[in-house]
Structure 1
Amino acid sequence: MRTLTYQLHRQPVKGSHHYLRTFESGVLHGQAVVRLLLQLKQHGFLPDVIVAHPGRGESLFVKEVFPESKLIHFCEWYYHPSGVDAGFDPEFPLSLDDQARIRTRNAMHLLNLEQCDVAVAPTHWQKQVHPASYHNKIQVIHEGIDTALLGPNPQAEFTLPNGHTIRTGDPVVTYVARNLEPYRGFHVFMRTLPALLAAHPTCQVMIVGGDSVSYGSKPKHATGWKEALLQEVSIDPNRVHFLGKIPYDRYRLLLQISAAHVYLTYPFVLSWSLLEAMATGCLVIGSDTPPVREVIQHGVNGLLVPFFDQARLVRTLQHALSHPMDYQALRNAAWQQAQGYARERGLATYATLFGAS
């Protein structure tokens, strides 16, 4: 398989209206891809199916080069100036300027929805945030996780950088995000820790994630959200361990020794890490937000708490750590639920979609 790359011939104009910079960037990416596709077409290449994530504009003009090819778009998100992720957190209010910018950002997404032959969203929640007039185009297909590699492991051990080893059965709380930031409830989680450490004097907290920003913005008075929250709350560094980004094998071990796994998110894209935690048999304590409710049913295969209710989160964690056997049925149900997201199933569904196209 040959990989081809493209280069932009210029960057967006710095003086353009800031509502339009994302759109101009998308047009530039689309132009660059078209130049590459024209070269392929000159050599006789004619695809039956084109699959693209349209978020950066790369597939904006592929139909002008290959009008007969079926275009399948991966529709991950559609922006809303209110009512979904934007404005969800009162700690970060939006201005009218923010709302207008967000609304304008959908111009490219509407073009992409209009021109594609088929669209795919990984969850029903993500499909639902797209305009209803396009729902008939959007199929729900999750690409899947490696459920065969995951699963419970009663013998799992995880050695910390300080040399201390923790094992399955220890009172361990885990939190995972690609980057530690408010979109994934990092600020809420950090603010619960002083009370949690006091309520359960022997628990250990393992935090996985980078210091960059995937969604939202950086804090104003710190280099990252980890630094910002450590300035705000006092925690015992011998019990709260920031592991950064770790190799997948160690990540899997960490989930396998977890006594309680916290997953908090704004009403936004569902993380793979939640499904991977379920597939490992974790007791998931998740935020009672729409993307989580799609996979976690409170008291059946996990526990849900209101996103901003720190006291409720502490009480739930304390009980889970103190009475682990009370939650074995929820762990088993989470594992069972996750099997529906097996990678093989996702790939097979995509293959059917390609063949039908």
Structure 2
Amino acid sequence: MKILFIHQNFPGQFKHLAPALVQQGHVVLAMTMQKVQASYWQGVQLVPYTASRGSTPQVHPWVVDFETKTIRAEACFRAALQLKAQGFMPDVIIAHPGWGESLFLKEVWPQARLGIYCEFFYHPQGADVGFDPEFPATDTGDACRLRLKNLNNLLHFEVADAGISPTQWQASTFPQPFRSKITVVHDGIDTVTIAPNPQVALTLNTAAGVITLTRQDEVVTFVNRNLEPYRGYHTFMRALPELLQRRPQARVLMVGGDDVSYGAKPDPQRYGAAKWKDIFAAEVRPRISDADWSRVHFLGHVPYQHFIPLLQLSTVHVYLTYPFVLSWSLLEAMSTGCAIVASNTQPLHEAIMQNQTGRLVDFFDPAALANEVCSLLTDPITRQHLGANARSFAQQHYDLQTVCLPRQLDWVQSLVLKK
């Protein structure tokens, strides 16, 4: 087959699937808006393209999102026309439609089967929006804007032949009748490589000097792409004063940048120019002594080769999230055998079962979070039990080679067979 991938930041979620299709003997191309140095990546021919314009200044704020997606879709459409003129005729197109690029590809190749990655469908209630009362919408028309933000999804439903979604909950956010076209298969975790390592050691440069941590140390980990309320950073920080006081030997390692990935930036009228990371650090700092604060380490963005050892080092791992997309890092933590304390929110319910694969706490309850973390820090038997169960669950349900990749390949094959 001839297979075309569409992803703004290719490979993204397709980093395992695309090379696997090459290995099966298919001709695989990928259109991307990234600047690439090479023509091929793991056997996939890369076709970069760019948009010819930006968004219109002063465009209505409710439609700026769709205009941006339309601009990207046009750029992809015109690049696709060039590919077609060169004789390329894909049998299957696999796209992440989140940025709009794949919107007009059926106009270029009407006979191609289109499968889309269904990451999330926006709702004004019952999911991420309105979940956290601490940060209410500043615009009463926010629900109107959100409806228009789904235009891209809705228009893709008209042309897509099937969808694939990484979790049952994410798939459940999509409306019928398209929901019935979605197959749930996770992107996959390499549980062979991402495994426990009792001999792991990690060296940190701290204000007090260089320290080396091992599994003999008490380490609490918290990981996000960016430290922001969407991923419970404010709740975690508010749990720190009690946690540090009760556990005088514990060290807290936090991974994540100081920007935003999903939610809004801090309201400048409320917070000035501060960033979420600094806002909540400043809030709790008066209740934390200098000695205790020296055991809190903000590591920023960590290269992947150092990220997995950090999880392997963890005594207790904390993962919190709004009802939103589930992070790979949670499943990677499970694969390394971490004892996990997680928020009792819908995305977690597929992976964390209370007292089986982890502990669940109310997202908004810092005291409960501190108590659960401290309880596990004092209980190595329970930690070992939860961590072993978490790893076993990850292997059974999310392993890349034995579970997810074979199902993804079956899904691609099914696209050709769909009528």
**Fold conserved between structures, TM > 0.5:** yes
Tell me, in whole angstroms, the C-alpha distance in 2 between the residues paired with 1:42 and 1:102. Answer: 38
Partner of 1:100: 144
Whole-Å separation in 1 of the counterparts to 2:60 and 2:302: 40
Taking the TM superposition and a 5 Å limit, the aligned residue runs for 1:1-357 are 1=40, 2-94=45-137, 95-162=139-206, 163-219=210-266, 220=268, 221-234=272-285, 235=288, 236-339=292-395, 340-344=397-401, 345-357=403-415
Deviations 1:148-179 (A, max 9, x none): 11111111111111311111132110000011
Cα separation, 2, equivalents of 1:130 and 1:233: 39
Q: Which amino acid aligns with 2:338?
A: C
Q: Secondary structure at the match of 1:51?
A: strand
Counterparts of 1:195 and 1:64, CA distance in 2: 59
* Preserved contact between residue 113 and residue 119 of structure 1 (Cα < 8 Å): no
Name the counterpart of 2:25.
Answer: none
Q: Secondary structure at the match of 1:250?
A: helix
Give the drift of 1:132: 2.7
The letter of the residue matching 2:275 is G
Letter in 1 for 2:411: L
CA distance in structure 1 between the aligned counterparts of 2:141 and 2:84, rounded to whole angstroms:
43
In the alignment, the residues of structure 1 paired with residue 145 and residue 322 of structure 2 have an alpha-carbon distance, to the nearest angstrom, of 20
The CA distance in 2 between the partners of 1:222 and 1:254, in whole Å, is 31
User: Matched residues in 1 for 2:200 and 2:94: separation?
Assistant: 39
- Superposed CA offset, 1:242-280 (max 9, x none): 111111121111111111000000000000000000000
Aligned to 2:12: none
Q: When the two structures are superposed, what TM-score results if normalisation uses the length of structure 1?
A: 0.97
| Structure 1 contact 184–265 (Cα < 8 Å) conserved | yes
Cα distance in structure 2, aligned partners of 1:222 and 1:149: 41
SS at match of 1:18: coil
**Structure 1 unaligned residues grouped into runs of 5+:** none
CA shift for structure 1 position 218? 1.6
Alignment gaps of 5+ in structure 2: 1-39
One-letter code aligned to 2:323 = P
CA distance in 1, matches of 2:65, 2:250: 45
- Write the letter of the residue equivalent to 1:177: N
Amino acid at match of 1:22: D
Work out the CA distance in 2 between the residues paired with 1:113 and 1:286.
33
Distance 1:203 1:222, change over 3 A: farther
User: For residue 169 of structure 1, what is the amino acid of its counterpart?
Assistant: Q
Are 1:222 and 1:228, in contact at CA under 8 Å, matched by a contact in 2?
no
Q: Percent identity?
A: 47
Over aligned residues, Cα RMSD in angstroms?
A: 1.2
TM-score by length of 2: 0.83
